[in-house]
Amino acid sequence: MNLVETLRHHRLLAIVRGKDPVAALRTVRTLVEEGIAAVEISLTTADALDVIRQARAELGPDAFLGAGTVRSAADAARAVDAGASYLVTPALVDDLAQYGVPVLMGALTPSEIEAALARGADAVKLFPGSLGGPGYLRALRDPFPEVPFVPVGGVDAQAARDYLAHGALAVGIGSPLVGDAADGGDLDQLRVRAAEFRTVAAGGTP
């Protein structure tokens, strides 16, 4: 799977994190039904590996379903075994290339970005994006024009629009999209938010 091309096509990466594994699985299913094809399940989710395993069984081998909050090679091994087809880290993590899946590696500063690339990152998760905002991404584009950035952290619909306008490959969205759905909240409201973010990804106004 080509992580960069898939994110370039979808432009949105939904981040599911919750306390209720049944609700988390429903959330993943609903997001995909609503056209948010790229979904990350954080390993901080209750029974995260089971959620990944069940989602993979339901969505099939081609679904763009990944594991997030991967902080070690051991986390990566368990996630890939459960069916994750890519890995997302919050920071620099060593020894992930051995698992043969794409990696979106967390970094913030220019030195960390270089370190992520040296570790074989397919793309850089700019995290926490809220510290610098779209203006910081714009500044990074000059020294790193070829780096595919995915800002994550505090990305609401307006910020998503601005990041994409400033050259982000895609944006990663957690609570502004998912809300409380992964804790058992309203799936109808999740569908409304998904439609809003799809409009943003297509170049519309949130």
What does each of the 206 residues of the chain score in pLDDT, given as a tens digit? Answer: 689 999 999 999 999 999 999 999 999 999 999 999 999 999 999 999 999 999 999 999 999 999 999 999 999 999 999 999 999 999 999 999 999 999 999 999 999 999 999 999 999 999 999 999 999 999 999 999 999 999 999 999 999 999 999 999 999 999 999 999 999 999 999 999 999 999 999 987 65
Q: Which two tokens stand for residue 7?
A: 């994110």
Tokens linked to 206: 């949130």
CB 185 within 8 A of CB 179: yes
Q: Hunting for tokens 């920071």 — which residue is that?
A: 91
Q: Which pLDDT score, from 0 to 100, does residue 205 have?
A: 66
Look at residue 105 in the predicted model and tell me its pLDDT: 98
Closest CA to 79 of 21, 118, 40: 40
Which residue is associated with the tokens 């087809």?
85
Catalytic residues: 40, 125
Fold of the 3-201 domain: TIM Barrel (3.20.20)
- Of 183, 190, 191, the closest CA to residue 19 belongs to 183
d(CA 121, CA 180): 31
Give residue 206's pLDDT: 59
Q: What's the chain's length in residues? A: 206
